[in-house]
Amino acid sequence: MAGDQKYKSSDYVAAVQHNGWSGKDPLIVFDGVCVLCSRFIHWVLAHDHEKQFVFTTAQSSLGQALYRHFELNTEEFETNLVIVDGQVKMRMQAFFLVCKTIGYPWRFVCVFDVLPNVVLDWFYERIKRNRYWVFGQRETCMVPGPDVQDRFIL
């Protein structure tokens, strides 16, 4: 599947609304047992000063519905999903969209978006393939603290 899709089908809308997300707030779906992915979410929480993003794990009912909808493996979470203004991004494009949405100075990371997708995909694949080995894996999904719990769709 391409790294950029619009979502408007009725089955998609029904799936996400049934699982607690209105579709209006920018959403990041991440692997909740992946330490690197959880660190990325903590990074977003620290830099998203306007509190734009909401989060859910790929293991949650919403995450599972979204992975099924986009025909992704629902057991081996190969990518984060980032959904902003009706666009779904995956892999490095998801990371760039987060940086762009958060704004200055992180927007400047998007300068690397000019690299060919084959280069970005190669880089992403290396991270994906080694993330558990290098950064570790938790037994259970990340549990948000009370100060950010309202930004998580569990």
Tens-place pLDDT, residues 83-112: 888 788 888 888 888 988 888 888 788 788
Q: 150: which 2 tokens?
A: 């309202």
pTM score: 0.82
Vertex 142 angle, CA 138 and 144, to 5°: 160
For the chain, the structural domain boundaries read 4-141
Q: At what angle do helices 35-47 and 117-135 cross, to 10 degrees?
A: 110
Q: 70: which 2 tokens?
A: 């986009």
Vertex 69 angle, CA 67 and 74, to 5°: 30
Please give the mean pLDDT across all residues of the chain: 81
Q: 50: which 2 tokens?
A: 């306007």
Indicate the fold that domain 4-141 takes in CATH.
Answer: Glutaredoxin (3.40.30)
